[in-house]
Amino acid sequence: MSEKGILVVFSGPSGSGKDTVLNELVKADSNVKVSVSMTTREKRDGEIDGVHYYFVTREYFEKKISENSMLEYAEYAKNYYGTPAEPVDEMLSQGKSVILKIEVQGAEQIRNRYDDVISIFLMPPSLRVLEQRLRGRGTEDEETIQHRLFIAKEEIRKAYDYDYVVINESIESAVADIEAILCAEKCKIERNKKTVSEVINNV
Ligand code: 5GP
């Protein structure tokens, strides 16, 4: 048994398939939880407040920043996005693996703040595939798509800073790769010292 849950930073450009991959991952493993972020962006069709995001005003978000209740936050495509700290700490202490689905600036803040965090970058197989996926979503206008593609290229350059890169060739292969990463991380000696010492002392 690991002592505490694993904190996982999970990034990838908009349209790389993060949501789909994480949905499947959570279905397959009840020990994995995805943190619900707070954002000031408009709700997209089908999104539910409190499930996909907590949709709030800029004023409310800035109040939460000043109260120090955000684990990290960033401005992305002209909106605030951030992780409320309390639920994450609680899930980790229950031994859950907690995934933060965040962009690269937030990922950097988390890495600087916590030693014990693993980071995974989800890559589209190519920029062409990414563009097709963004267009296929049909939720953004042309200007937003071009802006997101520009940001995507910059973000992919940051993949070098992550511990792991998973290529989203298919949902199944991406989920299997992440499960393998989590499994290997759980078995690391750093996370199992208590168990080892208990075994030794009970002999
Ligand atoms: P979208 O608007 O497509 O839902 O998200 C835009 C970007 O914001 C994505 O890269 C997503 O991972 C990132 N994001 C979502 N929640 C958070 C958060 O809590 N913190 C940070 N830093 N980025 C987030």
Domains identified in the chain and CATH numbers: 7-35+96-200 (3.40.50.300)
Q: Is the CB of 64 under 6 A from ligand 1?
A: no
Q: Is the CB of 110 under 6 A from ligand 1?
A: no
Residue tagged 């030693």 (tokens): 115
Write out the E strands in the chain.
Answer: 7-11, 32-34, 37-39, 53-55, 70-76, 79-84, 97-101, 117-123, 164-167
Q: Which pLDDT belongs to residue 83?
A: 97
Query: Could you tell which of 41, 102, 105, 140 is best to mutate to test the pocket of ligand 1, judged by most ligand atoms within 8 Å of the CB?
Result: 102
Per-residue confidence (pLDDT) for residue 120, from 0 to 100: 98
Is the minimum distance from the CB of 83 to ligand 1 under 6 angstroms?
A: yes
E strand map for 109-199: 117-123, 164-167
pLDDT at position 140: 81
CA of 37 to the centre of ligand 1 (A): 8
Residue 126 CB partners (closer than 8 Å, separation 6+): none
The confidence score (pLDDT) of residue 138 equals: 79
pLDDT of amino acid 203? 66
- The backbone torsions φ and ψ at residue 166, rounded to the nearest 5 degrees and listed phi first, read -115, 125
Name the 3-class secondary structure at 76: strand
pLDDT at position 1 is: 47
Structure tokens at 6: 């694993």
User: Which residues lie across from 11 on neighbouring strands?
Assistant: 121
pLDDT at 134: 84
Supply φ then ψ for residue 62, to 5 degrees. Answer: -65, -30
CA of 45 to the centre of ligand 1 (A): 17
Cα–Cα distance for residue pair 100/7, rounded to 1 Å: 8
Q: What is the pLDDT along the chain (203 residues), one digit of tens a residue?
A: 446 899 999 999 988 899 999 999 999 998 999 999 999 999 999 999 999 999 999 999 999 999 999 999 999 989 999 999 999 999 999 999 999 999 999 999 999 988 889 999 999 999 899 998 888 877 788 898 898 899 999 999 999 999 999 999 999 999 999 999 999 999 999 989 989 999 999 86
Cα-to-centroid distance, 100 and ligand 1 (Å): 9
Distance CA 31, CA 90 (A): 13
pTM of the model: 0.89
Identify which of 73, 83, 174, 163 has the alpha carbon closest to the alpha carbon of residue 123.
Answer: 174
